[in-house]
A and B are shown apart, each in its own frame.
Chain A
């Protein structure tokens, strides 16, 4: 192997799945060996530091376990709560419907009466010889006619 390790060979070396040719190359090539060592060391440092940063007090883990337990318990209750909420909602809606629906017949009766009154008014208006608004004018006209007829009667007597 005259050239340096390629991406796959280098990867296999780090992963520990390299073949004999790669192992042989590492024996003789200082550049690749140094590079492999640097990467191994860097990865090991990375692993150490991330593991250290993920270390927490025992209180943290206890609190986390407790939170999981509580949320799990809620998960168990959730279906029952959902059913209860649905039943309660149906009850409230049906009660509200019944409460708002109760005065409806009385309202209907009132409306019927009002309709009858209106229809009677329309009927009497239709039966009138003149519109109700012209009633005063008709009265004046009748009065004038009676006065005229009264004044004409004495002259006819002469």
Chain B
């Protein structure tokens, strides 16, 4: 029993040591994860400036609250959790953004569509653009949490368990969100065609 406790304590010390080392070399952490965090925020907000600002904010928050990190998940998952929360707060505080997007000519989807199959035949390219447009529109209409789950799963290829930890949800709830998101993506083209 005593041996077990000693081993557990040793493990805890090792984990704490790793965490301390990871945060001591904070610049390396930023270098390793800044692209991922920026990508997640850009996919969720589709606003490059906001994604840039919130990426900085995410790392500052992580640094500020590094003592609260207990090593229950990887630092990457913890950073994603902070980023998702920041994106959620940003959306809440910028409700008027909807009207800006509503009246603006481009919401970033044009830029995304232009990148699809540039070297394919016109017919294939058109089909690919159409498919992507449907997914983009469907993702745009997903509720905030479903969108975050979708982005983490299909863009960052995170596991259900990792997403559950990052979003403070149960794995079953994550799966339900994914089923609904996929259903929306599957159904969206038909809905649009029926209109």
With A10-B186, A64-B55, A69-B27 as given contacts, are A45 and B178 in contact (CB-CB < 8 Å)? Answer: no
Q: When the two chains form their complex, are residues B132 and A46 in contact, meaning their CB atoms are under 8 A apart?
A: yes
Q: What are 10 pairs between A and B in contact, CB < 8 Å? A: A11-B182, A46-B154, A49-B132, A53-B112, A64-B38, A65-B31, A68-B30, A68-B59, A69-B27, A71-B56
Q: Within 8 Å CB of A14, what residues of B?
A: 182
A50 lies within 8 A of chain B by Cβ? yes
State how many residues of chain B have any CB contact under 8 Å with chain A.
43
Q: Which 4 A-B pairs have the closest CB atoms?
A: A11-B179, A54-B39, A49-B112, A46-B135
Chain B, range 153-185, C-beta contacts under 8 Å to A: 153-155, 160, 175, 178-180, 182-183, 185
Q: When the two chains form their complex, are residues B155 and A50 in contact, meaning their CB atoms are under 8 A apart?
A: yes
Chain A, range 11-50, C-beta contacts under 8 Å to B: 11, 14-15, 35, 38-39, 41-43, 45-50
Q: When the two chains form their complex, are residues B55 and A50 in contact, meaning their CB atoms are under 8 A apart?
A: no
**How far is A49 from B116 in the complex, measured between Cα atoms in Å?**
7
* Secondary structure dominating the interface of A: helix
B19 lies within 8 A of chain A by Cβ? no
**How far is A129 from B59 in the complex, measured between Cα atoms in Å?**
91
Q: When the two chains form their complex, are residues A47 and B34 in contact, meaning their CB atoms are under 8 A apart?
A: no
Checking B27, B60, B183 against A10 with a beta-carbon cut-off of 8 angstroms, the contacting residue is: B183
- Given contacts A11-B175, A42-B131, 15 further A-B pairs with CB under 8 A are A7-B179, A11-B178, A15-B160, A15-B178, A35-B186, A45-B116, A45-B132, A45-B135, A46-B154, A50-B42, A54-B51, A68-B59, A69-B27, A75-B60, A75-B63
Q: When the two chains form their complex, are residues B139 and A53 in contact, meaning their CB atoms are under 8 A apart?
A: no
Query: Whole-angstrom distance from the CB of A3 to the nearest CB of chain B?
Result: 16
**How far is A7 from B60 in the complex, measured between Cα atoms in Å?**
40
Query: Whole-angstrom distance from the CB of B63 to the nearest CB of chain A?
Result: 6
Q: When the two chains form their complex, are residues B132 and A42 in contact, meaning their CB atoms are under 8 A apart?
A: yes
Chain B, range 51-83, C-beta contacts under 8 Å to A: 51-52, 55-56, 59-60, 63-64
Q: When the two chains form their complex, are residues B60 and A45 in contact, meaning their CB atoms are under 8 A apart?
A: no
Closest A residue to B113 by beta carbon equals A49
Give the A-B contact count at a CB cut-off of 8 A.
Answer: 101
B142 lies within 8 A of chain A by Cβ? no
Q: When the two chains form their complex, are residues A64 and B52 in contact, meaning their CB atoms are under 8 A apart?
A: yes
**How far is A93 from B136 in the complex, measured between Cα atoms in Å?**
59
Query: Whole-angstrom distance from the CB of A37 to the nearest CB of chain B?
Result: 11
B111 lies within 8 A of chain A by Cβ? yes
Chain A residues near B (Cβ < 8 Å): 7-8, 10-11, 14-15, 35, 38-39, 41-43, 45-54, 56, 61, 64-65, 67-69, 71-72, 75
Q: Within 8 Å CB of B51, what residues of A?
A: 54
Closest B residue to A47 by beta carbon equals B155
Q: Within 8 Å CB of B134, what residues of A?
A: 42
B115 lies within 8 A of chain A by Cβ? yes
Checking A41, A53, A65 against B115 with a beta-carbon cut-off of 8 angstroms, the contacting residue is: A53
Query: Whole-angstrom distance from the CB of B167 to the nearest CB of chain A?
Result: 16
Closest B residue to A36 by beta carbon equals B186
Q: Within 8 Å CB of B116, what residues of A?
A: 45, 48-49
Query: Whole-angstrom distance from the CB of B32 to the nearest CB of chain A?
Result: 11
B35 lies within 8 A of chain A by Cβ? yes
Q: When the two chains form their complex, are residues A50 and B183 in contact, meaning their CB atoms are under 8 A apart?
A: no
